[in-house]
Amino acid sequence: MNVEQALADTSIFIGLEAKRFDPAQIEGYELGVSVVTLGELRLGVLHATDPESAARRLSTYQLAQRFEPLAVDEKVAEQWALLVSRLRAAGRKVPINDSWIAATAMAYDIPIATQDNDYDAMPDLRIIKL
């Protein structure tokens, strides 16, 4: 069986935590994760307002840590600069963290798995919407 690679963005892990989609939808993919996603999920743990939320978010963060983090290197930096330049030239909003995650997927030439609409306006980004 041929397994397609994909980059899971932060919304995938939050969606799993909130049970917003069936995990079977991503079973056919070999998922990677951005270091930006790891940072966002860790921040969520630190900002939890009660022990129950903190425990749930920590579990989600630990799940994300099981996936291979894709390095932010010069190729990713170049993709990010090109992407942000194109978005700004088109007068579009540039969500900084999402643009780094998108640039990572583009540099590695893999689609991004997401539940987030912020990626819809990003040119040349392949999206798996869950």
Question: How many C-beta atoms lie closer than 10 Å to residue 35's C-beta?
Answer: 15
Q: How far is CA 19 from the centre of its chain?
A: 17
Q: Are the beta carbons of 79 and 106 closer than 8 angstroms?
A: yes
Pair 48, 54: CB distance under 8 Å:
yes
Query: 69 by DSSP, 3-state: which?
Result: strand
Check the annotation: does 73 bind a ligand.
Answer: no
Q: Pick from 31, 4, 3: which is nearest to 12 by CA? A: 31
Query: Any known ligand binding at 120?
Result: no
Bind-site residues for Mg(2+): 9, 98
Bind-site residues: 9, 98
